[in-house]
Structure 1
Amino acid sequence: PLVTCLNTSLWHANPDFCVAKSCTPPDIMNGNFNYTTDLVLGTTIIYTCDMGYRLVGQESAQCVLHNNEVFWDNVPYCASIPCSPPPAIENGQSSDGNRDFTFGMAVTYTCNRGFSLIGDPTIHCTVNKDLEGVWSGPPPECKVVRCKNPEVKNGKKLSGFGTEYTYRHTVTFECYPGYLLNGSSTVTCEADNSWNPPVPTCEPGQHPNALCKEPPTVDNGMHNGTKSTDFVPGSVVVYKCKDGFTLTGAASIHCKVDHQHQGVWSKPTPECQSDVPPVGEHPNALCKEPPTVDNGMHNGTKGTDFVHGSVVVYKCKDGFTLTGVGVLRCIARDEYRGVWSKPPPECRGGANMIIVGIFPLLLAMLIMNI
C-alpha cells in the first residue's frame, strides 16, 4: 500500500499490489477443458468430452466477477453416447439381456442348434462423425450350411473325413501315384453350401504338351529354375530374396495341369519386401502375451509374441461386469520393444452384461472405416 519517492523524481510502487483473482479449475467428469493462460478473471476456456461422450451445454465458459468473487459463467457436462438396441437375428439370439447400451459396450450372438453363425459374432457400440451411437457392423446370420461330400477320382482325403460337412469345415486331398493334382489341395465349406476353392481333380501325370514356361521373376529376389527352360508337370521352383528383404507369400510353386491340359504355375508369385520399416512403424517391436484377468479372458493366442498394432479384446465370464478399457493395443516403446497401450480391465461381480471398452479414437475410427 506504500509508494516511495525516488531520487529520480519518480514514484516507486509494487506492481503486484492488485492482481486478478483466479477461478478454480472446473470439474467436468468424462471431459476436460483447454486454456492457454492462467485461469484469472476474464479467461475463456473451451470444454471437450472424452471419446464416447458428448457435450451437453455451451462449449465455452468465462471467468467472471460477481459480489467480488470469481466463478465460471457456464459449466456443461459430458453425457455417455447411447446406441439403439442391437438388431435381432433369425434362428439365433444375442447376449444383450434387454439392457441399455452406451459407447464401448458389446453384444455377442449365438445360433440355435443346427445353425451355423456366418460373420463376426460380436459387435460394439461406437460413434460416427456426428457423435451418434452406432453399431460397429451388421449382426451375423444363422444359416443351415451343408456341403456335399467331396470326392476326388484317382485321389484320397488326407484330412476332413466324414459324411456331413458344415460351415468352415475343410478337407485336404492327395492324388494317387501317377496322377497330378489340378486345383487346390485344400477346400473349405462356405456359407453358400459350396466348396471354395472348387474340389480339385487328379489328372494322369503324363502330359507331354503340358509344359510351363520359365517361372515369373520377382523384384529383389530370384528362383532356382533354369532360365529359358520349359518345366514338366510336377517341377518345383523355390524363391528366395536378396539380403535386406523378406519373402511374402508361398516360397515355392510347382508346375501343374489345368483343365485344358496346359501347364500352369500353382500359386501366385511371392514378393520380396524391404526389411526397413516405413517411417513411424516398428515391426520388430513385439509385445509379450497380454495380462490375464480374474474371472475373464482375452482373445489373444497364449504363448505368442504380438506385433506392433495387434489388438486383443477382453470379456468377462457370466455374472461379472468388465470395468476399464476392454481393448488393448500393442504399441512401440522403441524400435525393439512393444508395450500394451493401457492397464488391463477388471471383471467385477454383480452384473451379467459384457462391457468391452474400445481403444479410444484410433480403434473407433478403424471400425468405422471397415
Structure 2
Amino acid sequence: EVAINSVLNFRAVHCENMEINDPYLTSRVEGTRLGQVAVFQCPIGFRLNGTSNLTCQASGRWSAPIPHCMPIICPSLDLDDPHLTLVEHNTSYGGRAVFRCSWGYRLTAPPGVECEVDGQWSGPVPSCEAVLCPPPLPPVNGRLVDEGPHYNVGSAVQFACNDGHQLMGESSVVCTETGFWSHPPPFCKARCPYPGDPEHGRIAPVKFSYEPGDHLKVTCSAGYVLRMDTKWPQCKVDGTWSEQLPQCRSYREV
C-alpha cells in the first residue's frame, strides 16, 4: 500500500477596508470577505456618481471603485425674450427660477419653475406677451377722437359728443397694466345750449345747458311784450329747442 500524505492550505479572501472621504456619501458594508457587499447612497439633492453596490471578489478587490455624491444642478437658463428677465435663478436641487416681464407685458405661464431631482426644471421658460385693452366702444351720439388698431398699456383714448349732447364721465381713458381701461366709458346726454337773452328781455331759468323736457320762459323789459300766441321753447331729446326763442316787441308794434 502506498500512503499519500498531502497538505492543503486555504487562505481566506479579504478585500481592503474602504476609506470614504465623501462627507455626503453613506454606506452599509456587510464585511470585507469574499462575496460580501457594500451599498452606497446619497442624500436628497445629490446623485450617486458610480456603482451603488460593490462586491468583494476572489481577487481581493472590490468590483468597482467607491462612488461619490455630486450635487444635482439644473442647466442654466438662457432667455431669448427681450421683455423677460430673471429675478431669481438658483440652479441647485429645490432652487427656483422666477421670471418677470417688462412694463406693459405679462407672462404666458406661471412665474416660476423649480429644479427637480432629475436635474431638470419643472416646466418650460415662459414668454411675455403685450397687455392689450379691448377696443373702446364709442358712446351713443358720440365718437372716439383717435382710434388705433391696438391699445397697448399707456394708450389713451379721448371721447367727444355730437352737437346737442354733453359728455358725462371721463373725457379720456388710459389702458392700464391689468388690461382694463382706467375709467368706465362715458356717455353722451342730450343737452340744449343756453340760447342767450332775447333783445329787451330775459330768459328763465338760466343754465349752462338744459336737459330734455326743460322749458324756457321769457320776461320782457318795461314797454315790451310777447305775442299772444307765443310758444315756450322746450328742450328735445336730440338736444335742440322745439321753438325759436320768443322775441320781445314794443307796445307800438303789437
**TM class by shorter-chain length?**
0.3 to 0.5
TM (norm. structure 1) is: 0.29
Pick the structure with more strand per residue. 1
Please report the TM-score for the alignment, with normalisation by the length of structure 2: 0.40
